[in-house]
Amino acid sequence: MTIPVITLDPSGADHQGEAARLREAGPVVQVVLPGGLRAWAVTTHALVSELVRHDKVSKDWHVWNAVKTGALTDDNPIVGMIKVTNMVTADGAEHHRLRRPVTRTFTNGRVQKLAPSIEATVDGLLDAFPEGTVDLRQHLSVPLPMRVICELLGVPDAERPRLRHLVDSIFRTDTTPEQVTEVQADIPRFLADLIRHRTAHPGDDLTSALISTEDLSPAELAGTLWVLLTAGHETTIGLITNAVRALLTHPDQLALARADGDWSRVVEEVLRWDPPIGNFLARYPTEDIELAGTTIPAGEAVMAPYTAVARDPEQHGPDAHLFDITRTPGPSTSPSATAPTSAWAPTWPASKPA
């Protein structure tokens, strides 16, 4: 049986069209990543659920043959989303060990204390909107989650532009090899500077709390902070942009949301219909596995194309392509439960701005 091969567009210029082509190609396809690397992709909701629960696959990027052979070079645009060592890329007991300090310190109470500051930030950003046409990403989608995550983790004001540059660079797939090398060298320096600053000047922030637990090695602490800082706000940028765009292009749905005030339904449907996560290298088989009748060899990378899976008609019915905040969840787990739309995963390619 010939497996279809689809080359992914690093710019994400037509991510919904690309997602449709992935679904049409079949339940298991091969994709070409930046740098000519190949990976597998499963294109149905059921297969993604099977993949993430499979006991013969790992989240550890060291398993990937492309890493072992050096095919994933250190100047590849996706290297910053792959070679990260933290709870996202750990399995089993190691995952729980690395996650435990976060669950103890990243509490609901800590987040609730930020509510007045978040509301003031939103009000200030909206009041500062220029007249006429507004670039939503520039004036709201980027600065809001950026300020919130920096306040939560105690990033000094002077370091915030540096952080945004680093995060934006690793989530782009059109960077040059020189830019990739520069950014990868500066990330550990940035994290060391943050840890050093908060060790000397502890505050009521998550970084200081994680340092005080003394449960993580310096490298583990840096890796944990990086996943919180990056995915902790990058996904929200896409969510805000995609939500506003969806509502403005579907005035009937906007009217429904305003009528009942249940904005959680809007959030859930946006996460499904146009998720901030496009494609994610989710797992690496530790031995040969079979998915939908296709054998995937050990050590290969398996991608979850969340944009494609989110409109899977087998899960969401023949109207899966429609934006409908009154939608009833499908027969199995909702996409937001299996897709890493929370703070724990990167997005690639990034959602396009409105």
pTM confidence score: 0.86
| Beta bridge partner(s), residue 296 | 289
Q: pLDDT (tens digit, 9 = 90+) per residue, 102-160?
A: 999 999 999 899 999 999 999 999 999 999 999 999 999 999 999 999 999 999 999 99
Specify the pLDDT at position 330. Answer: 65
**What's the chain's average pLDDT?**
90
Return the bridge partners of 281, or none: 303
Cα distance between residue 40 and residue 281, in whole Å: 9
Q: What pLDDT was estimated at residue 347?
A: 34
Per-residue model confidence (pLDDT) at position 172:
80
Ranges of beta strands (E only) in the chain are 5-7, 28-32, 38-42, 57-58, 280-285, 289-291, 294-296, 302-304
d(CA 204, CA 82): 31
The per-residue pLDDT for 70 is 96
Q: Give me the pLDDT at residue 75, please.
A: 93
Cα separation of 345 and 281, whole Å?
10
Q: What residues contact residue 15 under an 8 Å CB cut-off, 6+ apart?
A: 9, 278, 307, 349, 351, 352
The torsion region of residue 124 among left (phi > 0), alpha (psi -120 to 50) and beta comes to alpha
**Rounded to whole angstroms, how far apart are CA atoms 275 and 236?**
10
Amino acid 2: pLDDT: 85
In this prediction, residue 209 carries a pLDDT of 96
State the sign of the Cα–Cα–Cα–Cα dihedral 170, 173, 175, 179.
positive
Q: What is the mean pLDDT of each run of 10 residues along the chain (354 residues)?
A: 89 92 96 94 96 95 97 93 92 95 93 94 96 94 96 96 92 87 95 97 96 94 94 91 97 96 94 92 94 96 95 95 89 41 34 33
- The Cα–Cα gap between 146 and 232 comes to 9
Q: Are 344 and 235 in contact (CB under 8 A)?
A: no
Count of alpha carbons within 13 Å of 79, Cβ hemisphere only? 23
Helix 206-213 and helix 218-248: axis angle, to 10°?
Answer: 150
User: What is the structure's pLDDT at 23?
Assistant: 96
User: How large is the angle between the packed helices 263-273 and 218-248, nearest 10 degrees?
Assistant: 100
Percent of the chain with pLDDT over 90: 82
**E strand or H helix that includes residue 298:** none
Exposed / middle / buried, residue 35 (Cβ in 10 Å: 0-12, 13-18, 19+): middle
> How far is 188 from 191, CA to CA, in rounded Å?
5
